[in-house]
Structure 1
């Protein structure tokens, strides 16, 4: 094994990409493409349909519901910092969860022509999520104004570019494009994109938030949420890449490391939301006034909303003044 080779990884855990890449140092006798893990979760036949990673599928479904709950709560925090940007991040994670559900359960089974597309989309969404999380971390410092058209356009455009880059790197590796200079056994670039670059995004986010909490916020609960999220993520990765085979053998092939890795990833996302909820303060009076007056909120221009709120308040004051004047006139007449 050398740097960028997926041999040892694919032997220990059943990653989706292991079915479409091969190793330079180990090519299976019967599996020319792909590396078969030593132990993996068994498939279940239901109505003449093979369903893979059944236990992991339930975690993905639960993760989708968690994403919907988080999105609902984020949308209700009308004046919270980076509200619209966080919505983009959680939308990306929801899309990643759905893509992972389709890939892990075998909607497009390994060996089919479309399987490589699904795996490449999954890898691209992972990169987009990591990038969007890092950008949101910088927005918390209020380096630029959140919720503006420029801020949202920047995040959407760069997230799409990261997705496209990761997708292309994965797909040309799976399909052996570029005149055979990039083939299924040349996985160094894919390894760098998946593990080095994405890890750098996450590392920058964590360090920046620790600096923010320690130097500016002085909120130990927020720091605890960051550390707990890191704990869940790291434990999930250790179980995935180190403990998958023992778990698979001890559970008699019903579950493997992907089950716990997915579960702990959901916990990590919950901690990301909890951290954001702790460090953002909402003007409750302003929020309630928006709902009472029926002012439309699109999260793109805070100044326009505040202007509408002021106009609404002035209108109410004028009405109260007018009503008070009418009452005085009635009292004088009586």
Structure 2
């Protein structure tokens, strides 16, 4: 496996992007290009004359949408919490990412269709945007700027959009072979690998380091280090399921599931722990407290 190609990755696991890239150094045809097929992948089912792919992963993502709605509701209910609007924006991106994942994983936009490369590029763009957004949200606890202001929100929105747009453009240029000199096409995926994997990994590592510093130096609530550890552990285990054990899992359960199913479960738990960390380390930023006595009178206390 050369750095930047997806040959080994796509042989192990059925990633959506594997259908729109080609094996580096392999034989390609002008009219036929089926991507890189994994050794083993979850079987599809037919319901009402419709083929549905990755049915196990679909149920996980549908469940994830339910949990995300609950998380978003809980964040909205913390009216004066630090970083409330920024975290809402992050979870809105994650929700859009899960919906897009359902589209490409389940065959709503089937592999080989004209829309499929665009949805895969959108999925990668949302992943990059969410990683960047999370990293920026990790700075809020240091109070480097006032959270919840128009300036803060628009910076977060525009910068997250630019991070996603960079990945989207590189993905489309790679999938559609728009550049004819061979520097970026279906077989030369170095640029896509860097923006979709290396950059995102850097964003996540920076976020983790920031939260550890915040916990040890400012908050000094060492219990929340366990939440960070749970989130990291779950995410790493998910990546192992996806990129290392997927073929073994698929063969072991007779093609009913593959690594995507367990990776999605682990990623969901990791995202939930991100919310739990924010919830545990963020207090309502009130200048006074509000209480109601037995007579129904409202009192304000500094």
Q: For the residues of structure 1 that align with 2:9 and 2:289, how far apart are their CA atoms?
A: 49
2:294 corresponds in structure 1 to: none
Structure 1 unaligned runs (5+)?
Answer: 290-311, 315-334
Aligned-partner Cα distance in 1 for 2:14–2:235: 18
The equivalent of 2:272 in structure 1 is: 270
**Aligned counterparts of 1:112 and 1:251: Cα–Cα separation in 2:** 29
Q: CA deviation at 1:217?
A: 1.2
1:193 equivalent to 2:195? Answer: yes
Offset, 1:218: 1.3
- Between the aligned partners of 1:2 and 1:145, the Cα distance in structure 2 is 45
- Aligned equivalent of 2:39: 38
In structure 2, the residue matched to 1:223 is: 225
Structure 2 unmatched ranges of 5 or more: 292-297
Call closer, same or farther: CA 1:137–1:236 in 2, change over 3 Å: same
Aligned CA RMSD, in angstroms, stands at: 1.9
Q: Residue 15 of structure 2 corresponds to which residue in structure 1? A: 15
- Kindly tell me: are residues 283 and 156 of structure 1, through their superposed partners in 2, closer, same or farther at Cα, counting changes over 3 Å? closer
TM-score, L = length of structure 1: 0.84
Q: Which residue of 2 aligns with 1:164?
A: 165
Structure 1 match to 2:174: 173
Shift of 1:216: 1.4
**Other-structure match for 1:129:** 130
Matches for 1:111-126 after TM superposition, within 5 Å: 111-126=112-127
1:1-334 → structure 2 map (5 Å cutoff): 1-27=1-27, 32-181=33-182, 182-282=184-284
Deviation for aligned residue 1:103: 0.7
Q: 1:287 to 1:62 in 2, by over 3 A?
A: farther
Which protein is richer in helix relative to its size? Answer: 1
Specify the SS of the correspondent of 2:194: helix
**In structure 2, distance between residues paired with 1:27 and 1:282:** 60
| Count of residue correspondences | 292
C-alpha displacement at 1:33, in angstroms? 3.8
Change over 3 Å in CA distance of 1:82–1:287 after alignment to 2: farther
Q: Deviations over 1:217-268 (max 9, x none)?
A: 1112211111110000000001100000010011110110000000100000
SS in 1 for 2:168: helix
Q: Which residue of 1 aligns with 2:295?
A: none
**Native 8 Å contact 1:28 1:35 kept in 2:** no
The answer to whether the 8 Å contact 2:250/2:258 transfers is yes
Deviation of the 1:32 alpha carbon: 3.1
